[in-house]
Amino acid sequence: MKLHDDKLRALGLAVIQVETQAVAALAERINAEFVTACKLMFKCSGRVVVTGMGKSGHIAGKIAATLASTGTPAFFVHPGEASHGDLGMITQQDVVLALSNSGETEEIVKILPIIKRLGVPLIAMTGNPLSTLAQEATVHINVSVAQEACPLGLAPTSSTTAALVMGDALAVSLLEARGFTRDDFALSHPGGSLGKRLLLRVSDIMHVGHHIPVVPVSALISTALLEMTEKKLGMTAIVDTEHRMVGIFTDGDLRRMLAKSLDIHQTTIAQVMTADCAVISADILAAEAMQIMERKKINALIVVDEEQRAVGALNMHDLIRAGII
């Protein structure tokens, strides 16, 4: 069979159109049953146990992961394994969320009596409101679709997309209801770049002690240049006798100074420094420091304490190394 570019594009577009319509149809399913399902999971003192078989199982696993990462403790149980011991993972404090497009999946139907015996609330997400699973559930969420995107009507496509989107709707609704914050999200994602952006603070990556470039306000420009060269941060803090910040001298200031043909061995740094400079505190997020640098179009910042004493230094390269950028 010869492949034609236009034909392939048309086929791909047709799939997207069918699945878009399937998702749009879900809007009317955000109803009383949806609200009840949210309340059951919100009030759950245990875990939301998500189960599904085949393609529905893959979607169930993703929903469980999304719930868990957004403040609703959850895990996936394979319904086939559930009949061979894994049902012991379900406690009376849990809620079960079962996915099956037909609502007649044998492995799930087989464990319904046990779920009933435990007295565990059962949320069913199916494409058939008259199915066994839907009828036995505490609450049923209808995720039926008009057609699969597969032209044969066999491969789960639109149906799995609809279930996935409804799962996201549940998870995000619960996230909002719980008042789940960016910091809460970061605590469950500490290893990724997002976790770094949300958790890492300036104090974790700033230069401290003798690594801070600093000269007294009475120093000559030549002394400040030596300090900048040694500390390699592209700037130096200018401080008074109490080590409080009075200004900063950067590579940019140096370029502007060179245009004035000043004698660096006779001119004090106070004459060329930037007095009204941006400073930050050590306890702010590193991501906030990056935003300040970007907004002010600068590459370095001095970190100060409550008395405006220089206690650290930070430049854009430190943020890059830390994975903030």
Burial degree of 127 (CB within 10 A; 0-12, 13-18, 19+): buried
Strand pairing category for 95-100 and 122-126: parallel
DSSP state of 308: -
pTM reported for the whole predicted model: 0.64
Cβ atoms within 10 A of the Cβ of 183, count?
Answer: 10
User: How many angstroms separate the CA atoms of 241 and 262, rounded?
Assistant: 25
pLDDT tens digits, one per residue of 128-180: 999 999 999 999 999 999 999 988 877 889 999 999 999 999 999 998 888 87
> Residue 130 in contact with residue 29, Cβ under 8 Å?
no
pLDDT tens digits, one per residue of 237-286: 999 999 999 999 998 888 888 888 788 999 999 999 999 899 999 999 88
Nearest to 307 by CA among 224, 240, 228, 253: 240
